Amino acid sequence: MDALLAEFERTVLAEIPLTRAMQLRAGAYETNELVLAAPLAPNVNDKGCAFGGSLASLLTLAGWGLIVLHLRRRGLECDVYVQDSQMRYLAPIWQDFTAHAAPAAGETWEAFDQALDARGKARLRVHCRVPLPEGGDACTFEARFVALTKR
Amino acid sequence: MDALLAEFERTVLAEIPLTRAMQLRAGAYETNELVLAAPLAPNVNDKGCAFGGSLASLLTLAGWGLIVLHLRRRGLECDVYVQDSQMRYLAPIWQDFTAHAAPAAGETWEAFDQALDARGKARLRVHCRVPLPEGGDACTFEARFVALTKR
């Protein structure tokens, strides 16, 4: 898993220039959770807390990465796209931050894998959050992704 | 309006480092529309089209800027925060792009100004889009912002 995560970080930084500007780092990965991290300094806004665009970017990448990593573990070549997202900003965050992505309630990898194997296409809703150091969340995010088997 | 827009671009680029990485430019401003622009190259994803995080960032900034510019024209000192957003990705965009922000259907500056003057706090829902060169939209975005008078 660690080699997979390190390779994921390398390819994201190589292929998506904005992630280099954000100084994105891969934090941790298990089957049902991907954690990405970013320092505050390059992601600050005019008020001195984390910029909403940086938060949205890290959350979107965490959700996308959770699916990409699942597919790489299965050895599948797919394109993964975000279809829609809802984001709630609950509290400002004044320090380095992490985005945690997990399958949304009611979603399973079994159903996802079955749909992909049967039709070459599968959707997954992902729930993500940026936790606050004092407890609770700075923001929550739910998004729907689609994976398409490459022809 | 042009001087106001140029000053907005300068302060955003100075205060939000990610906007420099995105090479954000202010496009046009009227009472009911703000247009921000970004080139594809620094905002590309692994597929060669615009990165979802860059799109979300530009859309959030366009909605936020629409309210910030309205308040600056009124000579008011406020903090403006995004509270929540919904985003739909409809089609990939393979070239430089613009985000267009306008008050959402049913929203008026009159009601916003009255709430702000009466209570020091006002909300506005903003509708934003990234148009495709061939017609239609690459993505749509609706978000709720709150403005608070500075004490």
Residue of A45, A80, A141 best to disrupt the B interface, most CBs of B under 10 A? A45
Q: Which of A44, A60, A81 sits opposite B17 (nearest CB)?
A: A44
Measured CA to CA, the distance from residue A27 to residue A127 in angstroms comes to: 17
Residue A67 has a pLDDT of 98
Chain A partners within 8 Å of B78 (Cβ): none
Chain B partners within 8 Å of A58 (Cβ): 53
Do residues B24 and B54 touch, judged by C-beta distance below 8 A? no
Measured CA to CA, the distance from residue B87 to residue B72 in angstroms comes to: 27
Q: Which of B11, B12, B60 sits opposite A52 (nearest CB)?
A: B60
3-state secondary structure of B35: strand
Do residues A36 and A99 touch, judged by C-beta distance below 8 A? yes
Residue A2 has a pLDDT of 86
Greater model confidence, B150 or A114? A114
The answer, yes or no, to whether residue B91 has pLDDT greater than 80, is: yes
**Reported confidence tier of residue B128, pLDDT bands at 50, 70, 90:** very high
Q: Do A81 and B89 touch (CB under 8 A)?
A: yes
* Residues B68-75, mean pLDDT to the nearest whole number: 96
**What is the distance, to the nearest Å, from the Cα of residue A52 to the centroid of all Cα atoms in its chain?**
15
What angle, 0 to 180 degrees and rounded to 10, lies between the N-to-C axes of helices A52-73 and A2-15?
A: 130
* Residues B73-101, mean pLDDT to the nearest whole number: 96
Residue B150 has a pLDDT of 87
Measured CA to CA, the distance from residue A41 to residue B30 in angstroms comes to: 33
Residue of A64, A87, A128, A140 best to disrupt the B interface, most CBs of B under 10 A? A87
Q: Which residues contact B34 (CB under 8 A, 6 or more apart)?
A: B26, B28, B62, B65, B66, B69, B100, B101
Residues linked to residue A127 through DSSP beta bridges, in sequence order: A102, A142
- Tokens matching residue B119: 């209570």
Q: Which residues contact A143 (CB under 8 A, 6 or more apart)?
A: A59, A60, A63, A82, A83, A84, A85, A86, A125, A126, A128
Residue B2 has a pLDDT of 87
The answer, yes or no, to whether residue B1 has pLDDT greater than 80, is: no
- Report the gap between the CA of B96 and the closest CA in chain A (Å): 15
Residue B139 has a pLDDT of 98
Measured CA to CA, the distance from residue B11 to residue A132 in angstroms comes to: 28
Report chain B residues touching chain A, CB-CB < 8 A.
11-12, 15-18, 21-22, 41-47, 51-54, 56-58, 60-61, 64, 79, 81-89
DSSP 8-state symbol, A99 = E
Q: Which of B46, B57, B88 sits opposite A15 (nearest CB)?
A: B46
* Residues B142-147, mean pLDDT to the nearest whole number: 98
Residue B151 has a pLDDT of 73
The answer, yes or no, to whether residue B82 has pLDDT greater than 80, is: yes
* Residues A113-128, mean pLDDT to the nearest whole number: 97
- Report the gap between the CA of A57 and the closest CA in chain B (Å): 4
* Residues A45-62, mean pLDDT to the nearest whole number: 95
Measured CA to CA, the distance from residue A52 to residue A146 in angstroms comes to: 24
**Reported confidence tier of residue B147, pLDDT bands at 50, 70, 90:** very high
Q: Which residues contact A133 (CB under 8 A, 6 or more apart)?
A: A95
For chain A, percent of residues with pLDDT exceeding 70: 100
3-state secondary structure of B9: helix
**Reported confidence tier of residue A114, pLDDT bands at 50, 70, 90:** very high
* Residues B99-122, mean pLDDT to the nearest whole number: 97
Can you spell out the DSSP letters for B49-104? SB-HHHHHHHHHHHHHHHHHHHHHHTT--EEEEEEEEEEEE-S---S-EEEEEEEP
Strands annotated E in A25-136: 25-30, 33-38, 78-89, 97-103, 121-131
* Residues A41-48, mean pLDDT to the nearest whole number: 95
Residue A150 has a pLDDT of 87
Q: What share of chain A is helix, strand, coil (3-state, %, to 5)?
A: 35, 40, 25
